Amino acid sequence: MKLSELKHQAILEQAKHEFLAKGYQAANLDHICLAAGVSKRTLYRHFDNKLELFKAVLLALHLKLQTPTSECFNPELALEPQLMCLLSEQSALLCLDASMQSIRMLLSQCLQQPEMAKQLLSLVREQDNSIDLWLKDALKAGKLSGDIKAMSRTLKSLFNGVFLWPSLFELDTHCDNNAADISNAEICRVFLAAYAVNKLNG
């Protein structure tokens, strides 16, 4: 990796810690530069301003949370175990403290600055996540039937309603493996009943 790339990564990593610890408004670019071992001039070579750095940090966190670790869609296998595996990965990620801190940081900033929220949400929506990629492949293989946007909204709404929002407000984290498996199985059942071509076998 080139020196400029190493500096870029160092700035992002230290900015992440600074924003998570202090929020956007209180975060200090001088502190970020000191921790990353770069000058402020170097920071501005990589990021135009504090907002652009904040966006880059949020995008990096978002992509990390959405990176699939399981195999891609396999048309030779049943839908249910594949979807269960994908949802299990997503629910496990939400149980990481850093994940919830990142989401809370984003929501807090969005409430304070609605215009920034529009930019950040637009940036996030441009990125296909692991669920969207899996759905597109399953649809292309003829295993699912329906509108891709509607399918994505439905599945994410089911997942977020069970896992994200309760975890965000510390109502029910579902971090127990058995509880998570039961919830993910129910999400799979409801979703595949609506969209799977072979609804009996998934």
pTM of the model: 0.72
Helix (H, G, I), strand (E, B) or coil at 71: coil
Q: Which CATH architecture has domain 61-195?
A: Orthogonal Bundle (1.10)
Distance in angstroms (rounded) separating the CA atoms of residues 15 and 9: 10
Res 181: pLDDT: 93
Please report, for the chain, the start and end positions of each structural domain, with discontinuous segments joined by +: 1-47, 61-195
- Is 12:35 a contact under the CB 8 Å cutoff? no
Q: How confident is the model at residue 70 (pLDDT cuts 50, 70, 90)?
A: low
CA torsion sign for 3, 65, 136, 110 is negative
pLDDT in tens, 112-127: 777 777 777 676 666 5
Q: Which comes out higher in pLDDT, residue 71 or 156?
A: 156
Q: Which CATH architecture has domain 1-47?
A: Orthogonal Bundle (1.10)
Report whether pLDDT(190) > 80. Answer: yes
pLDDT in tens, 115-166: 777 777 676 666 557 888 899 999 999 999 999 999 999 999 999 899 888 8
Report whether pLDDT(14) > 90. Answer: yes
Distance in angstroms (rounded) separating the CA atoms of residues 179 and 47: 43
Q: What are phi and psi of 196, to 5 degrees?
A: -70, 140
Chain-wide mean pLDDT for the chain? Answer: 85
Report whether pLDDT(202) > 50. Answer: no
Report whether pLDDT(200) > 60. Answer: no
Helix then strand then coil, in percent of the chain rounded to 5, is: 75, 0, 25
The pLDDT of 25-36, averaged and rounded, is: 95
Q: What are phi and psi of 171, to 5 degrees?
A: -85, -45
- Is 172:166 a contact under the CB 8 Å cutoff? yes
